[in-house]
Amino acid sequence: MSFDKDPEEFKKEVQEESTFQKELLDAVEDQAEEIEEEEVRYKQEAVREEKPKKKEIETRPTPAPVAKPVDEKKKKKEPRVVYTHIDVDLWRTKLHKEEWGIRKDAQRAQKDRQWTRDMDQLGTVKIDGEDYGLLAIREKSWKEKDPLERRFVMKMFSPSGYWRASIERLQGESFANSLATKEPSPAYVCIFKHTRNLFRIRRLAHFPRFQGQIFGFSYLDETDVFHSFVIDDKRLRLGSDWVVKDIHNKVIAKINGKFMNIGGRFKIDIFNQKLAKDKTFFNTLILFSTTLRFYRDIKKNIKKALKELKTSDAEVKLDDSETNLYLNPRKLSI
């Protein structure tokens, strides 16, 4: 603006400009009011739309409760089917009619050469209630005072007196296993009449130690199928109780020792139908159960023998019958 203009004109221009500014402010205020009204209207419409939705939700029928999936671990365990039941009875004393008489021992020796002069019958075996075998130990070898010469040999004969199978403790392998595990770890070999193969049972190191004793054995069956098993004792149980597991960690058999039985009575239940008919399998369990009565004495013998070997210049000389078990079978077959 120029001050050269007439004051009247200048005053008129100022009034016009102030009027324009006032109109502009009024327009802005009107627009703001319209915006607020639109916002209120929009909220009201939104509330009207939500109300029927809520009614629908309220009138909607409540769904039926869905059953929770049953935990497989909480399911009741199905009872195992016992396909074969075996009773192993080791006598407390020799006062049994089967053991009376020197003549009977002579007759047995004539019938089968496996019945040696130092054999002493000490038990019987029944399978499904029927007589299956007689158990006898080589008494002279077992009562040997020298711990390096003491041997455990148990044999099983048929009820008529013919040899079926044997289990022997391997002195050399027992010493080697015990030195490695730093505790008495016996090793056994099973010999059967129905097969030329040898079958070994070994006590294995169990970690952690407090879990107890564990044994392992394996073999090839008649169809050349390899089988591997673990015999594990059940801790915190009265008596001597063991479970037998296969390579899939499935319990396929149990060995239950009767509590407070001084002699040794063991009940063997087999839950696998195929293995229940396998002579190698159930004969191995029978022979292993016979060692449990003498297990403490066997471990004491290993301790004494190792102590003598460490503190003296004594050497381990194995019995001839045990030495033959270490021969190379491939060289013999050539």
Q: Where are the beta strands (DSSP E) in 33-118?
A: 84-90
Tell me, what's the pLDDT at 47?
59
Count how many domains the chain has: 2
Same domain, 172 and 256: yes
Same domain, 33 and 175: no
Same domain, 146 and 265: yes
Tell me, what's the pLDDT at 79?
76
pLDDT of residue 259 exceeding 60, the answer is: no
Tell me, what's the pLDDT at 197?
84
Same domain, 264 and 116: yes
Query: Across residues 229-243, what is the average pLDDT?
Result: 76
Same domain, 93 and 41: no
> What is the number of H-type helices and E-type strands within the chain?
8, 12
Residues 45-55: tens digit of each pLDDT:
665 655 554 44
Domain-located, residue 98: yes
Tell me, what's the pLDDT at 153?
95
Domain-located, residue 129: yes
Domain-located, residue 273: yes
Point out which residues pair with 165 in neighbouring strands: 156, 192
| Highest-confidence segment of 39-48, 215-224, 267-276 | 267-276
Same domain, 21 and 130: no
**Which of 37-51, 101-115, 157-171 has the lowest average pLDDT?**
37-51
Helix (H) or strand (E) holding 156: strand 153-157
Same domain, 89 and 208: yes
Domain-located, residue 79: no
| Residue appearing with tokens 């381990």 | 316
Beta-strand relationship, 241-245 and 226-233: antiparallel
Same domain, 228 and 98: yes
pLDDT of residue 310 exceeding 60, the answer is: yes
What is the residue range of 33's domain?
Answer: 12-53
Same domain, 174 and 36: no
Domain-located, residue 139: yes
Query: Across residues 214-238, what is the average pLDDT?
Result: 82
Domain-located, residue 7: no
**Which of 50-64, 232-246, 303-317 has the lowest average pLDDT?**
50-64
Residues 75-132: tens digit of each pLDDT:
566 678 999 999 999 987 665 555 545 556 677 777 888 898 889 999 999 999 999 9
Tell me, what's the pLDDT at 92?
72
Domain-located, residue 63: no
Same domain, 35 and 163: no
Percent with pLDDT over 70 in the chain: 66
SS3 label, residue 312: coil
Determine the Cα–Cα distance for residues 234 and 255; give it in Å rounded to an integer: 10
pLDDT band at 307 (very low <50, low <70, confident <90, very high): very high
Determine the Cα–Cα distance for residues 255 and 290; give it in Å rounded to an integer: 11
More confident residue, 262 or 309: 309
More confident residue, 315 or 152: 152
Determine the Cα–Cα distance for residues 229 and 249; give it in Å rounded to an integer: 9
Same domain, 261 and 201: yes
Same domain, 155 and 200: yes
DSSP of 46-66: HHHHHHHHHHHHHHSPPPPPP
Q: What is the mean pLDDT of the chain?
A: 80
Domain-located, residue 29: yes
- What is the value of pTM for the model shown? 0.72
